[in-house]
Amino acid sequence: MKVSFTVPGVPVSKQRPKFSRQGKFIRTYTPEQTVNYENLVKMAYCKDDEPIKLNGAIKATIKAYFPIPKSASKKKHAQMALNTIKPVTVSKDTDNVCKAILDALNDIAYDDDRQIVELHAYKLYSDMPRAEVELEELMDDFETKMNPPEV
């Protein structure tokens, strides 16, 4: 089974937890920007209808599209739009963008993101910033041999 969806807006990196002192106690909390983006991911996944929960090993493909800088010349803008220039200077780490998306989908798209056994991630430029996510259940050889498909 394969599920695809798009998260609108500029992709956000998962931020580290923050700490604050409350008298004798230390409180740990997730930064607001991360919480808001994870909620946006959940809404994008559940947008159409009843969310599909995937089982077993999962392959994830995430394409994070970042805005083309306004300072780019027309020539560079065209190259960035065609993805001949990659967003190396974008301050978002690819792995942290993936972490924000995959953590948001825990208990919704799958039981836990440890089910992700294969991950393909891309950072690209676009005039329409977004994150395109594709999740696919994988059938491994053992499962196929033990439970051959019905004809």
Could you report the per-residue pLDDT of 48-102, keeping only the tens digit for each?
A: 777 889 999 999 999 999 998 888 899 988 988 888 888 877 778 899 999 999 9
Phi, psi of 41 (to 5 degrees): -65, -45
pLDDT at 141: 53
Q: Residue 16 — very low, low, confident or very high, per pLDDT cuts 50/70/90?
A: confident
pLDDT at 114: 92
| pLDDT tens digits along 96-144 | 999 999 999 999 999 999 999 999 999 999 999 999 999 999 976 545 4
Q: What does the chain come to in residues?
A: 151
First-last CA distance in the chain: 18
pLDDT at 142: 47
CB of 12 closer than 8 Å to CB of 100? yes
The pair of three-digit structure tokens given for residue 49, joined into one six-digit string: 């209808």
What is the CATH architecture of 2-146? 2-Layer Sandwich (3.30)
CA distance 42 to 38: 6
Q: SS3 for 102?
A: helix
Task: Determine the Cα angle at 147 with ends 52 and 133, to 5°.
Answer: 30
Residue 8 has pLDDT above 50, yes or no: yes
